[in-house]
């Protein structure tokens, strides 16, 4: 007779509930670590010099075009 056979149904259910709770905690921790790793990878992306300076004049022109198109549709 093995150890599990000696346990009552209630004891087995308690063990199972405990085990499932641990599995959920482990899955949550794995998700957290994965997200943290993704954030770190994104933070470590090195942008080439042509991407780093913001050309505000170009941004302004873009939004002016967008606004003009939206006004024309109305």
Across the range 4-25, mean pLDDT stands at: 96
Task: Compute and round to an integer the Cα radius of gyration of the chain.
Answer: 28
pLDDT confidence bin for 42, thresholds 50/70/90: confident
pLDDT confidence bin for 73, thresholds 50/70/90: confident
- 3 state DSSP class of 53: coil
d(CA 21, CA 13): 12
d(CA 51, CA 70): 28
- 3 state DSSP class of 18: helix
Name the residue ranges covered by the structural domains of the chain: 3-73
Average pLDDT, the chain: 89
Q: Which two tokens stand for residue 65?
A: 């075009």
């Amino acid at each position: 007779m093995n150890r599990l056979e000696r346990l009552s149904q209630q004891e087995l259910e308690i063990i199972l509930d405990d085990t499932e709770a641990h599995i959920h905690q482990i899955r949550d921790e794995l998700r957290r670590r994965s997200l943290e790793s993704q954030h770190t990878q994104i933070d470590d992306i090195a942008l080439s010099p042509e991407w780093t300076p913001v050309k505000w004049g170009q941004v302004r022109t873009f939004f002016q075009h967008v606004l003009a198109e939206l006004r024309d549709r109305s």
